[in-house]
Amino acid sequence: MEVGRRLWVREYVAANDGNISCRIGADQVLATPTGVSKGFLTPEMIVLCDMQGRRLSGALEVSSEILLHVEVYKRRPDVCGIVHAHPPTATGFACAGMSLETPLLPEVVIALKSVPLAPYGTPSTEELPASIEPYIETHSGFLLANHGALTLGRDVMQAYHRMETIEHFAKIYLVARMLGGAQPLQPAQVERLLELRERFGVEDKSACLGCGVCDALASHAAFNGQQATGAGGTCVLHRAARAAEQESPRSDDELKGLVERVVREVVRRTG
């Protein structure tokens, strides 16, 4: 809900645009529904679906672009959060057929390496997942030609922050071009930044099956000089997700209750 609100407040989405998802288990994904403004989401609106994009629980229909999300989750075990939005400046580059791969800012190189432009794919079809196939393994932020942007993260908040980074970079790149031309970093400088990126462990390739909240809490606590609690895959969300994998199939009411508990716990822990 908080990520949806931020997307809407920053005007990265309009009307019912965009979608957000969070992997909570080996075969379970929480996702935003279709036809709902991301600025006014409530826990009851969130849909639980499987890794084929089929709804397991929830009163509303899952976004028709869930196929794109589940394809990423299948290919990237380190990813537990995905955000799709239409930030205006970055989407302008996508509509102009221009990527954001020019290395201009150290922060962008460290956070995302680069932001490639995926070819156009018709929304809600298999064309869209296929359009990013060449980049899934190596990038965590993409422009989608004539469509918008997609970001991946170890949790939903990291995916959202990467969306902010893409739009901020797009604005700076546009200004630099208007001022007479952007001056990219030199290859040796980029190489050093990529070394720092690896040292900082920006990409986490561990096969975490949780929601990412533990990592988010640990990062937040470290930033504020606090001792993290519940890290290392021991929080209630990880335990519930893993226990669910070993239990017998749940009824619709049980699945609905599980979704509501998990969503409320995510909201409580991430503010």
Average pLDDT rounded to a whole number, residues 200-222:
47
pLDDT at 259: 57
Query: What mean pLDDT, rounded, does the chain reach?
Result: 82
pLDDT at 125: 86
Give yes or no for residue 9 having a pLDDT over 90. Answer: yes
Are 185 and 104 spatial neighbours (Cβ–Cβ below 8 Å)?
yes
Give the Å distances, CA to CA, from 266 to 42, 98, 150. 12, 36, 22
Residue 262 pLDDT class (50, 70, 90 cuts)? low
Gap between the Cα atoms of 208 and 210, Å rounded: 6
Give yes or no for residue 73 having a pLDDT over 50. Answer: yes
Give yes or no for residue 174 having a pLDDT over 90. Answer: yes
Express as a percent the part of the chain with pLDDT over 70. 75
What is the domain partition of the chain in residue ranges?
Answer: 2-199
DSSP letter (8 states) at residue 229: -
- pTM, two decimals, is 0.76
Q: 2-199 belongs to which homologous superfamily?
A: Class II aldolase/adducin N-terminal domain (3.40.225.10)
Residue 197 pLDDT class (50, 70, 90 cuts)? confident
Give yes or no for residue 15 having a pLDDT over 80. Answer: yes
pLDDT at 238: 42
Average pLDDT rounded to a whole number, residues 184-196:
91
Average pLDDT rounded to a whole number, residues 1-24:
95
Are 68 and 75 spatial neighbours (Cβ–Cβ below 8 Å)?
no
